Amino acid sequence: MRHTWRWFGPVDKVTVQDAAQAGAEGIVSALHHIATGDVWPVDEIAKRHEAIKAGGLYWDVVESVPVSEDIKTQTGDWKTHIANWQETLRRLSASGIRTVCYNFMPVLDWTRTDLRWETRHGAKAMRFDLTDFAAFDIHILKRPGAKADYPDWLAEEAAKRFAGMPDTKIAALGRNIGAGLPGSADGYTLAQLLEKLRSYQGINRERLQQNLVDFLSEVTPVAEAVGINICAHGDDPPWPLLGLPRILSTEADYAHMLSKVDSRANGVTLCTGSLGARADNDLPLIASRFADRIHFVHLRNVTRDTDTVPCSFFEDEHLEGATDMVAVIAALLAEEARRRAEGREDHTIPMRPDHGQEILDDLTRGAQPGYPAIGRLKGLAELRGIERTLSHSHFGLTGGTR
């Protein structure tokens, strides 16, 4: 695999050089300052390439070119936004990019209630607490009809939790959930969030699935023509939130979108952490089933409080938690070997250690939530160790990774 590292650009407190020292071979980045829906300017793309080269690495993967709410709902400027997305692909390809990640989560991107939850060793991890989330939805956001979306016991728990909730926590929930986490395309005040939710009235699961297929039918031929693999990141967490459907949460969801637009260029960002929040997602199985269409991998692990869907969970260390990381990596290495044997150019799959706990000096550096230097370095080191072992000619299943 190719070991990559997410870099948020010049604002990131973890530099490209830090990434190189941590063992990364390539960078995952995006132009977060360009408004969603707009075409990415050629000179801005070039500038980002230069900044990454100056740190000693190469820009391998774009994560993400955001998909606008207009495209997801097929309203407003959606046709222009699709044309702009296509043009951005052409420009990225001309600059040397071969892999572009995106997601199709309505309104909210990845969602956590707690960005710095203390683990038993005093590290800080991200957590999704279902009761806090329900308290936010019913009592802070006050979404019409919210209470009916939760089982009675959970709505009662949420009411109790909210009754004792300090103002600082209320504000933090609004910030963490509504204002968006790193990489999210857009952030909202509570009023704007309610407004956005209203724009999804009438969009059920089937309709959103169709809108994704319509989007892919337009952009996949362009991706194919310019030699880019586009790859959909799964829903995080993988279940409906705030009354909105989510459509890339399970193996069946991915099977649907891959079969409807059946081109290799239409692929998957396999995020073990996102899908792993559901006990009914078998990650090693998913990795082998969609192997041919996996173009980018996020390796991360979660520990769930319960095996229900939905549930509360926290982001555990990369080799702890529910997902069998060794089995996932073995499946990916087998796929790389298969591609090499076929003589495919894209035989090396880019992966990144997704997120990391804040440990040691991370606790004072103030990097982006979820993206500390040392926590990710540790994850990458552990994951590389697995890969090296599985690839070793003595034990190896695959006869090397390159």
Q: Which one from 139, 233, 295, 318 is the annotated catalytic residue?
A: 233
Q: How far is the CB of 186 from ligand DNO (least distance, A)?
A: 12
- Tell me, what amino acid is at 76? G
CA separation for the pair 402, 350 (Å, rounded)? 12
* Residue 295 lies near ligand DNO (rule: CB under 6 A): no
* Residue 238 lies near ligand DNO (rule: CB under 6 A): no
The residue among 63 and 336 lying less far from ligand DNO, judged by its C-beta, is: 63
Q: Is 392 tagged catalytic?
A: no
Q: Is 318 tagged catalytic?
A: no
Q: How far is the CB of 224 from ligand DNO (least distance, A)?
A: 21
Q: How far is the CB of 342 from ligand DNO (least distance, A)?
A: 28
Region binding ligand DNO by CB under 6 A among candidate stretches 98-106, 171-179, 210-218, 341-349 = 98-106
- Tell me, what amino acid is at 110? W
The residue among 64 and 303 lying less far from ligand DNO, judged by its C-beta, is: 64
Q: Which two tokens stand for residue 68?
A: 């606008």
* Residue 40 lies near ligand DNO (rule: CB under 6 A): no
The residue among 370 and 375 lying less far from ligand DNO, judged by its C-beta, is: 370
* Residue 4 lies near ligand DNO (rule: CB under 6 A): no
Region binding ligand DNO by CB under 6 A among candidate stretches 102-110, 138-146, 211-219, 335-343 = 102-110
Among 108, 106, 104, CA closest to 261: 104
- Does the N-terminal peptide bond of residue 237 adopt cis geometry, omega within 30 degrees of 0? yes
Q: Pairing relation of β-strands 313-316 and 58-63? A: unpaired
* Residue 216 lies near ligand DNO (rule: CB under 6 A): no
What dihedral angle (degrees, nearest 10) is formed by the CA atoms of 330, 101, 67, 107?
50
Q: Pairing relation of β-strands 124-128 and 350-353? A: unpaired
First to last CA, the chain: 8
- Tell me, what amino acid is at 287? A
* Residue 114 lies near ligand DNO (rule: CB under 6 A): no
* Residue 211 lies near ligand DNO (rule: CB under 6 A): no
The residue among 299 and 390 lying less far from ligand DNO, judged by its C-beta, is: 299
Q: Which one from 70, 109, 354, 362 is the annotated catalytic residue?
A: 354
Please provide the DSSP assignment of 212-261 as one string: HHHHHHHHHHHHHHHT-EEEEEPPSSSS-BTTB---SSSHHHHHHHHHHS
* Residue 172 lies near ligand DNO (rule: CB under 6 A): no
In the block, which residue shows the tokens 């704007």? 192
Q: Which two tokens stand for residue 253?
A: 């969801």
CA separation for the pair 92, 84 (Å, rounded)? 12
Q: How far is the CB of 359 from ligand DNO (least distance, A)?
A: 18
Q: Which one from 298, 311, 318, 362 is the annotated catalytic residue?
A: 298
126 phi/psi in degrees, rounded to 5: -90, 145
* Residue 235 lies near ligand DNO (rule: CB under 6 A): no
Q: Is 355 tagged catalytic?
A: yes
Q: Which two tokens stand for residue 159?
A: 């009411």
The residue among 138 and 297 lying less far from ligand DNO, judged by its C-beta, is: 297
Relative orientation angle of helices 42-54 and 78-94, to the nearest 10 degrees: 40
Q: Is 298 tagged catalytic?
A: yes
3-state secondary structure of 267: strand
x/- letters, 352..381, toward ligand DNO (CB under 6 A): --xx--------------x-----------
Q: Which two tokens stand for residue 82?
A: 């699709």
x/- letters, 335..354, toward ligand DNO (CB under 6 A): -------------------x
In the block, which residue shows the tokens 């190719």? 2
Region binding ligand DNO by CB under 6 A among candidate stretches 96-104, 220-228, 252-260, 289-297 = 96-104
Kindly list the catalytic residues.
233, 271, 298, 354-355, 371
Site residues (vs ligand DNO, CB under 6 A): 63-64, 101-103, 109-110, 183, 233, 271, 298, 354-355, 370
